[in-house]
Amino acid sequence: MQTYDLIIIGAGPAGITATVYAARKKMDFLVITGDIGGQTAWSSDIENYTGYQFISGPDLVQKFEEHMRSYHTNVKEGEGVTEVEKSAGLVLVKTDKGLEYQAKSVIIASGKRSRELNVPGEKEYRNKGVSYCATCDGPIFSAKDVAIIGGGNSALDACLQLIRIARQVYIINNVPQLAGDAIMRQKVEAAANVSIFNNSKVTAVLGDKMVKAIRINQEGEEKTLSVQGVFVEIGLIPNSDFVKGVEKNAQGEIIINNRNATNIPGIFAAGDVTDVSEKQIIIAAGEGSKACLSAFRYLARH
Ligand SMILES: Cc1cc2nc3c(=O)[nH]c(=O)nc-3n(C[C@H](O)[C@H](O)[C@H](O)COP(=O)(O)OP(=O)(O)OC[C@H]3O[C@@H](n4cnc5c(N)ncnc54)[C@H](O)[C@@H]3O)c2cc1C
């Protein structure tokens, strides 16, 4: 089996930036990733990535990808890592295609995924009206009624996209008022086609082949809202389950030091999957570059 210098897992901002640095250091490396872009592709409006006063998520991902592919990069796209383990001085990586790879070092840049509601009907109607990505699936609900579950920045971002597409947008928020950035909150609250249900929980997704309604409980009172789309925006959980032996915090984030090293020599991590204090595109990108430079130094020493 070929032994790479480095395997980068994930191609969001952290993984792609690590890739650019690895290519420029002429490392012998491989990228294994579910997709290109990660969560950045889900964002409609990005106004805080230096150099762009405004850019959409998909456009920024396109720029990232062009940059990455301008070098000779070996990218296994659409392949999910199922296990990472250090053994006999090398890191072994297994994937859902039944393949195995090995390297002297690894950067885990696998980011986060959407938290699920865990209510009856959610799994049954996934991709049949239940969605976790307004940017990806929003256009399907043109002139239809949709519910957004959540009240933070992700929910507000989804709402600002959907008010331009859907007929009626319901926000189901389980606390007394919306959280998230004040500017987004004001825009959402001012929209004519938005109804906000605070102190409310979704108890079931109902349908017949496709979503038809949701049942909610607002302070003890049961209500049924007729909707064709349900967007679940209740937070994210780290994609760190597949890494063995690496220390994680209570949220499942991989614990790193200020050089992106984990407790296992040769295994580095970067971006949203780690316990880095803020989760932003520019931070993930910076962390990806740091992780690659740390891996480069590690290889020089070993
Ligand atoms: C709706 C929304 C809007 C946002 N808006 C902004 C904004 O305006 N500005 C801002 O700065 N930040 C924003 N963020 C946050 C920002 O998108 C993240 O902080 C950033 O994308 C994290 O980058 P990352 O590379 O660490 O992880 P991710 O972007 O999560 O990428 C992870 C990558 O790993 C891959 N992967 C996951 N598991 C595996 C596996 N087992 N095997 C192989 N590959 C795997 C995925 O396919 C993906 O390519 C937003 C987030 C959301 C959800």
Q: Whose CA is nearest to atom 14 of ligand 1?
A: 280
Report the pLDDT value the prediction gives residue 225, as an integer from 0 to 100. Answer: 98
The number of the ligand 1 atom at minimal distance from the alpha carbon of 236 is 53
Q: Is residue 272 annotated as part of the catalytic site, yes or no?
A: no
- CATH number of the domain at 130-232, out of 3.40.630.10, 3.20.20.60, 3.50.50.60, 1.10.10.10? 3.50.50.60
Q: Report the C-alpha gap between 203 and 250 in whole angstroms.
A: 27
| Cβ neighbours of 184 (radius 10 Å) | 18
Q: If you measure from the C-alpha of residue 3 to the centroid of ligand 1, how many angstroms do you get, rounded to a whole number? A: 28
96: annotated active-site residue: no
Same topology for domains 3-114+236-301 and 130-232, yes or no? yes
Please report, for the chain, the start and end positions of each structural domain, with discontinuous segments joined by +: 3-114+236-301, 130-232
- For 57-93, what is each residue's pLDDT tens digit? 999 999 999 999 999 899 999 999 999 999 999 999 9
The Å distance, Cα 298 to ligand 1 centre, comes to 26
Distance CA 76, CA 278 (A): 28
What is the chain's pLDDT, residue by residue, as a tens digit (302 residues)? Answer: 999 999 999 999 999 999 999 999 999 999 999 999 999 988 877 889 999 999 999 999 999 999 999 998 999 999 999 999 999 999 999 999 999 999 999 999 999 999 999 999 999 999 899 999 888 889 999 999 999 999 999 899 999 999 999 999 999 999 999 998 999 999 999 999 999 999 999 999 999 999 999 999 999 999 999 999 999 999 899 999 999 899 999 999 999 999 999 999 999 999 999 999 989 999 999 999 999 999 999 999 98
Q: How many CB atoms lie within 10 A of CB 47?
A: 9
What's the pTM value of the predicted model, to 2 decimals?
0.87
pLDDT at res. 112: 96
* 3-114+236-301: CATH number: 3.50.50.60
Backbone φ/ψ region at 12: left (φ over 0), alpha (ψ -120 to 50), beta: beta
Catalytic annotation on 133?
A: yes
